[in-house]
Homo-oligomer: A and B are copies of this chain.
């Protein structure tokens, strides 16, 4: 990751046609965003990934590890590490799958929900900073477009 400046810079290169390449735009926004998000989450001992897992654990949807892997575009073995970490810290628990005893469903603990609420608040501030250039409407629009692109 390159150095980040606090001031907004409009680089010379943004003029290139590449500035219309969705792939690069996503990569760049994701890269700079990740940096900020991870910084914001560090206070809670979380990173973007573990926060995502914790969020889903807190959602009441009782996701299996396989579902987490698919949804987060991770290898199943990476989910093992993430859940291990969260479990050791008492934020989530592995429970036996209901229909399928091979599967483990990930559920949050009370402490996990406590941390999650705090972290989410911090993250929302961070995200607003990140998308400060957008109006509230555009912000909503962006989310809608991303969701539609992903799931129709």
Contact = CB atoms under 8 A, between A and B. Distances in A.
Interface of A: 1-3, 8, 10-34, 37, 48, 52, 55-56, 59, 61, 63, 67-76, 123, 127, 130-131, 133-134, 138-139, 141-143, 145-152
* Majority SS at the chain A contact face: helix
B148 A134 contact: yes
B72 A28 contact: yes
B23 A127 contact: yes
Contact of A27 (B34, B130, B131, B151): B34
Contacts of A26: 26, 29-30, 33, 146
A68 B15 CA distance: 13
8 contacts: A1-B75, A10-B152, A13-B67, A14-B151, A18-B59, A23-B37, A27-B72, A133-B149
Given A22-B130, A134-B145, A142-B146, 12 more contacts: A2-B70, A2-B76, A13-B59, A16-B59, A22-B127, A22-B131, A23-B37, A26-B146, A27-B34, A27-B72, A28-B150, A145-B145
